[in-house]
Amino acid sequence: METVDLGHLMAFDPTHQFSSLPSSREELVESCLQKGRELVQAVANALFSLPSTEDLDGPIVKLPPPTTKLPREKHLPKPKPPTKWETFAKMKGIKKHKKDKVVWDEQTSAWKRRYGYDRVNDDQDIPIIEAKSTDEPGEDPFAKRRADKRKRVDKQEKNRVQNLKEAAKFGALPSHVQLAATALPITGTQAAPKKVSKNELGDVAGIAATATASGGKFDKKLEGEKKPKHDHKHRKFLPVAEGKGLGSKEKEQTDRVLNKLISKNSHEILNIDKAITMYNVKKEKKRRNQRGDSATSTSSKLKPKKNLQKKSSNKKGPSSSKKAKSKSK
């Protein structure tokens, strides 16, 4: 009878036996396939018997947790050899016991961390050190304190590396150290010989090929050697012809440049000299009209209107209107 483990989507039949050993290989394959098909069918049956929710792609079921225990892929990690302190502590019978993370600081009368930044009994908090009779003259007590601290830190680092070396001999380096092991000064751990990848090789070849005065332009190319990679950016231009009609981007660009140019020169639209002369000429005309008899005033009123109409109609051909103006001058 098959047992189905839906968590792994797996089914197997521990009791299956061939009734008679098949004679040829084809038969064996055939019977194996048949058994396999039965087992897959069993998995499918079990799957469809689970409670399902409808989805666009079809029914969706939630798989139960797996019941079969599969063997580990990697071997168990080796036990770490004890560090020097651990052996010493065992010899002396020193036991580890838990300490609080925060401690009451008498100096500042506040709760402070036991270690690290802003810790209890921090040297940085002591602004004055009392002189002692044993002090050497001409020595900065603050500098000495800093140097001592540095020394202690260095010593601890040395001890740490020493312990790691010992662990590396047993092949029990912690995984995070293993990754960085090449950077550690541990003798005995060997960095895996680095294989140069194809890309790296190509890069080096490219650098060598372009290391001439002409950038490798006139060198003989080897068989199968590619052109050196061109590492600056290529200039990108708008398309020459974009679909039907002009590219919208090109139109945008020309409009942008044109508007900028026109707005930059917009102060030139008002020509003060011209405006003054025009104003004077108009004044003159008015005066002349007033001097003339009032009967012709209606006709004179019509005249400037005509002029206005002409101007608006002639806007497209500025050359003609200008000529007219210069003539009138």
Please give the torsion angle defined by the CA atoms of residues 164, 170, 176 and 179, in that order, rounded to the nearest 10 degrees: 100
- Cα 161 to Cα 84, 98, 165, 181, distances in angstroms: 11, 25, 6, 11
Q: Does 238 help bind other proteins (rule: CB under 8 A)?
A: yes
Q: Could you give the CA distance from residue 180 to residue 191 in angstroms, rounded to a whole number?
A: 10
**CA atoms 263, 265, 267, 268: torsion sign:** negative
Cβ-based nearer residue to other proteins, 223 or 273: 273
Q: Which of 33, 50, 126, 261 binds other proteins (CB under 8 A)?
A: 261
Q: Considering only residues 25-44, where is the footprint of other proteins by CB under 8 A?
A: none
Nearer to other proteins, 211 or 241 (CB): 241
Q: How far is the CB of 231 from other proteins (least distance, A)?
A: 21
Contact 112, 102 (CB under 8 A): yes
Element (H, E) at 280: helix 272-291
Number of residues engaging other proteins in binding (CB under 8 A): 32
Part in contact with other proteins (CB under 8 A); list of ranges 49-57, 101-109, 114-122, 239-247: 239-247
Minimum CB separation of residue 246 from other proteins in Å reads 5
Token representation of residue 321: 């209107």
Q: Nearer Cβ to other proteins, position 180 or 269?
A: 269
Q: Least separation, in Å, of the C-beta of 9 and other proteins?
A: 58
- x/- map, 300-329, other proteins, by CB under 8 A: ----------------x-xx--x--xx--x
Contact 105, 121 (CB under 8 A): yes
Sign of CA dihedral 167, 170, 172, 178: positive
Evaluate whether 113 touches 121 at the Cβ level (below 8 Å): no
Contact between 234 and other proteins per CB under 8 A = no
Tell me whether residue 136 or residue 268 sits nearer to other proteins (CB atom): 268
Binding-site member from 108, 271, 297, 309 for other proteins (CB under 8 A)? 271
Contacts 24+ apart (CB under 8 A), 106-113: none
Q: Which of 45, 253, 296, 313 binds other proteins (CB under 8 A)?
A: 253
Which tokens go with 216?
Answer: 């490798």
What's the min distance (Å) between Cβ of 313 and other proteins? 16
Nearer to other proteins, 146 or 322 (CB): 322
Candidates 97, 245, 293, 298: give the one binding other proteins (CB under 8 A): 245
**Which distant-in-sequence residues (6+ apart) come within 8 Å of 7 by Cβ?**
63, 64, 65, 66, 67, 68
HSE toward the beta carbon, residue 304, CA cutoff 13 A: 11
Q: Does 273 bind other proteins (CB under 8 A)?
A: yes
Can residue 237 be called a binding residue for other proteins (CB under 8 A)?
A: yes
Q: Tell me the CB-side half-sphere exposure of residue 160, using CA atoms within 13 A.
A: 10
Q: Is 232 in the site for other proteins (CB under 8 A)?
A: no
Q: Is 149 in the site for other proteins (CB under 8 A)?
A: no
Taking the least distance from each CB to other proteins, the nearer of 57 and 273 is 273
Residues contributing to the site for other proteins (CB under 8 A): 235, 237-241, 245-247, 250-251, 253-254, 256-258, 260-262, 265, 268-269, 271, 273-274, 316, 318-319, 322, 325-326, 329
